[in-house]
Amino acid sequence: MPSSPSLASRRRTATAALRTGAARIAAIVATPLVPEDYLDLLTPLKSGSDLRGRIVAVEPETPDAATIVIKPGRGWRQHVPGQYLRIGVDIDGVRQWRAYSLTSPLHRRDGCVTITVKAIPDGVVSNHLVHRAAVGTVVQLDQACGEFTLAAQTSPKTLFVTAGSGITPVMAILRNATLPDTVVVHSAPTASDVIFSAELRALAAAGRITLIERHTAIDGMLEVTELATLVPDLTERETWACGPTGLLDAVEAHCADVGVVVHTERFRPSVLATGEGGTVTFSRAGTVVQADGSTPLLVAGEAAGVLMPSGCRMGICFGCVVPLHEGAVRDLRSGDLTTAAPGDGVLIQTCVSAAAGACDIDV
């Protein structure tokens, strides 16, 4: 005759039944979400868009450039030298996103990564990071990306042509790879304006690179037609260039003329006007509406006939999260602004976000 179940066993069975029943009820109430979706709230850093990091040091490089040392949170994936990092910084209540080249050696013992930033005139984020960023500040991060790496290299001879902060992705490559025959042509206003000057000159003294510096305040602007003189075997070298748009356009045209393979990295400035309300483009739906600064984007889209993902409609379940391609939105709960430029990979909750200027939503 089987023994009667113990009190503890009966309690476990009853608890399991209650959990199963509660899960079924929750699944009905939460449709189209399921209870598993709410587990995402317990791990908000699991996606790249929600990755965060903490500034642990700010190391001056020149009077207007600094290396920012960041300890990334969980979920960070190892970068490839030459790639860049999108970083979101809260400045005066506005979340500003910018992209900066990663400059750290791989596998730092402290687990940190670095970006090196040059402050530019009227640059809100660059000046903040170089001159005012405080140790301990938490910043938003995205995963590293970019194709300015050695993955596509086909020639054993390498030429890097850089100007100003264009040396930053190249420095990452030089710190992490041993190249057999490398020439670096770098342009900066003066010798003291050369970012990583001591390290570059040490690499040259050790015979690891051939370094050609052009100090424009004394030598004048670098003309790409001079490259053949500065680098006599130019046509034998695969070229990598990073710097101002004018320089890159000229390098690309010159390399095409002489039959040299060239890879370029362009730094994109981001200037965005914010306000109350604005033109909202739902890009996939092909719909454009005018929205005020108090109407949630979810409501504005639905009123225009756009099929919008949604869940709780209160900013809790994250069922309405979509990419913000470009523009500015305001969080209706906190008043915080979030901005994005093309390629930034910023996600927003449409049920608690309103237009704060023109914006383009991926719906």
Q: Looking at the 3D structure of the chain, how many domains does it have?
A: 3
The proportion of the chain whose per-residue pLDDT surpasses 70, expressed as a percent, equals 84
Same domain? For 170 and 101 the reply is no
Same domain? For 182 and 259 the reply is yes
Same domain? For 241 and 283 the reply is no
User: What confidence tens digit (pLDDT) does each residue in 75-89 have?
Assistant: 999 999 999 998 989
| Residue that is last in its domain, among 141, 173, 197 | 141
Same domain? For 157 and 109 the reply is no
| Residue that is last in its domain, among 239, 266, 293 | 266
Q: Which residue has 């709960």 as its token pair? A: 333
Confidence of residue 340 (pLDDT cuts 50, 70, 90): confident
Task: Give CA–CA dist 80/273, Å, rounded.
Answer: 33
Q: Is residue 11 part of a domain?
A: no
Across the chain, mean pLDDT equals: 85
Same domain? For 334 and 240 the reply is no
- Region 120-139 average pLDDT: 93
pTM of the model: 0.67
Task: Give CA–CA dist 125/160, Å, rounded.
Answer: 27
Which range has the worst mean pLDDT, 15-24, 26-35, 224-233?
Answer: 26-35
Same domain? For 127 and 169 the reply is no
Q: Is residue 34 part of a domain?
A: no
Cα dihedral 195→197→199→201 (10° resolution): 150
User: Domain range spanning residue 61?
Assistant: 48-141
Q: Is residue 14 part of a domain?
A: no
| Residue that is last in its domain, among 90, 113, 141 | 141
Three-class SS of residue 235?
Answer: helix
Q: What is the CATH number of the domain that holds 322?
A: 3.10.20.30
The gap from C-alpha 202 to its chain's centroid, in whole angstroms, comes to 30
Same domain? For 59 and 130 the reply is yes
Task: Give CA–CA dist 100/152, Å, rounded.
Answer: 21
